[in-house]
Structure 1
Amino acid sequence: MLPWEFNILLVSVILLLKKIYANELTFELPDNAKECFHDNLKIGSHFTLEFQVITGGNYDVDLELKSPTGKILYRETKRQYDQIEKTAEEAGVYQFCFSNEFSTFTHKTIYIDWKVDGDPEHEITQPGPRVAESALTMIERNVERIHENLEKSIDYQTHHRLREATGRARAEDLNQRVQDWSLGQFMLIIFVAIGTVLLLRSFFSDRKTSNMTWNR
């Protein structure tokens, strides 16, 4: 007979693996470029796509989501952040594309979180360890509660890091603009000062020349 601790561990692993198949990715999208991603889903799979533009330009991007038959499920232009939740009505390869083709000189850094729930390819169907039914129900409830709390903690941490990265990028961009503006103002002041000195010297040179001519 398997030890009680091993039964709990095995049930926990099975429940965690059955829950959700997810992918997180941060990538750079060059200017005037388009990047597409694909995933093969079954009918009835519930999928969630969350994205956020972290850095670049006005922090916006175009997104288009297509079904296997080419049906447009989602299309938005110049979005900074969004979350799309759909249920697959067709079996096949789903495609979502990020486009930065409207930008000619700024690249973007984009974070995406792709989650799929209910896809048989990502679920475990083998029976779990043999334990008491009441104990198994209690274990399932506790493990599911722990799993949900862990997912919430991960989501909070991820969003906090994204906000921190976006804020830092904005601060660095503002700092660079302030430095450029200050340098421009400094150069303008130097040019005005030099021009004023030269202008005053020309006034005195003209008067000195006219006095010498009058004395002659």
Structure 2
Amino acid sequence: MIRQTLLLAVVLCLAVVNVNALTMQIEPKTQECFYEYVENGKTSIILYQVIRGGLLDIDVRIYDPQGNTIFSRLHFDTTMKGRQSFTAATSGAYKLCFNNEMSRFTAKVVTFTWSFEDADNSFVKGDALSPMEQSVQKIERVLQSIVMEQKRMRFREQTNRDTSENTNARVVRWTIIQVLVLVSMGVGQIWYLRRWFDSKSTQRV
């Protein structure tokens, strides 16, 4: 019994597999697409986030192997969660596209992960499950939600870090400009006072 329970726990822990993470910059007036082979009946979970650029918006589209659009949305990071899942109806190469053609000048930096989980979990469902097996199944669902939340928090931390570094760079640049202005004003005042005193001395002579 214990051996079967341990085996079940291992299978459940391996339910989410093949996680691909990528961060890229999408130039204005361009579109970047990524292909992933998905087997029939498997559920894809895509987490994405715009970490830098403009209003943190991006047009997200997902296509099936026949080229049909199965998901399309203009994503705004400030008001939406970057999470989308779908179950493959047929095996083939599914396409995920990030479209930045609506932006004229601003590039967008997007990070995303594409993971898979088995949609068919019937072998661990039903009245035949013991209380321990049901507990393991519940723990597996909780662990999956924790993993997804950790990914979202990692994306959020990256966005906040980029914002902080960008703000710090602006503060440094502004400070340098202020120092240069003060030094220029000081040099100009010294030059003007010396010229004024020199002109007074010439008039006295």
TM interval, short-chain normalised: 0.7 to 0.9
Q: Distance in 2 between matches of 1:30 and 1:111?
A: 13
Aligned position for 1:82: 82
Number of equivalent positions? 197
The question of 1:9 aligning with 2:9 is answered no
Give the SS at the match of 1:208: helix
Residue 171 (structure 1) aligned to one of 164, 173, 187: 164
Residues 21-32 of structure 1: pairs in structure 2 closer than 5 A: 21=17, 23-29=19-25, 31=27
Deviation string 1:77-105 (CA, Å, 9 cap, x unpaired) is: 56435222334455532100234564768
Residue 191 (structure 2) aligned to one of 182, 198, 201: 198
Give the SS at the match of 1:68: coil
Could you say if the C-alpha distance between residues 76 and 203 of structure 1 is closer, same or farther in structure 2, counting changes exceeding 3 Å?
A: farther
Do the aligned residues in 2 keep the contact of 1:31 with 1:103 (CA within 8 Å)? no
Give the greater-gyration-radius structure (CA). 1
Residues 33-52 of structure 1: pairs in structure 2 closer than 5 A: 34-42=31-39, 45-52=42-49
TM-score (norm 1): 0.71
Do the aligned residues in 1 keep the contact of 2:21 with 2:112 (CA within 8 Å)? yes
Deviation string 1:152-188 (CA, Å, 9 cap, x unpaired) is: 2223333333322322222121111111111111111
Q: Distance in 2 between matches of 1:26 and 1:42?
A: 21
- Of all paired residues, the percent bearing the same amino acid is 25
Q: CA deviation at 1:141?
A: 0.9
Q: Distance in 2 between matches of 1:57 and 1:210?
A: 62
Q: Which amino acid aligns with 1:52?
A: Q
TM-score (norm 2): 0.74
- Structure 1, gaps ≥5 residues long: none
